[in-house]
Amino acid sequence: MKRSEAREQAFCLVFEKFFTDEPIPEIIEMANTVRDQVTDGFAIKIAEGVIAHLEIIDQAIEKHSTSWKVNRISRVALAILRVSVFEILLMEDIPDSVSINEAVELSKKFGGDEDSSFVNGVLGAIVREKEKGTMEILLVS
């Protein structure tokens, strides 16, 4: 499976988490049964990582989404942002540009008309701060 397909699976798992209190392994089991699919290991790693670091990820998103609180961002855009921010902040082996590009493509596929530019802007701001070495948000964990 391509990593872009695995990211899409991860996005779906993170998105589904909005609607249930079930842990990620339960969501994966339901997804595999209902959709008759096998969830990729990379997708599982991302989805579990997002949930494990949700507070840090959401702080970064809120800090860089000017004038938007996390609870005001569409669920689709937020799930996409969470996946990408996890990759940008916590998966050093993935180039930031790849994470941003994949997030923008997911936004175009699943989001509203303005989601892709919003997602691109938020992620670009996070990467710029990361590159400056001033990403204070990571110290919270």
CA 78 – CA 136 distance, rounded (Å): 21
Residue (of 2, 1, 15, 6) closest to 80 by Cα position: 15
Print pLDDT tens along the chain (141 aa).
899 999 999 999 999 999 998 999 999 998 888 888 889 999 999 999 999 999 999 999 999 998 778 888 999 999 999 999 999 999 999 999 999 999 999 999 999 888 999 999 999 999 999 988 777 655 444
Domains of the chain: 3-140 (1.10.940.10)
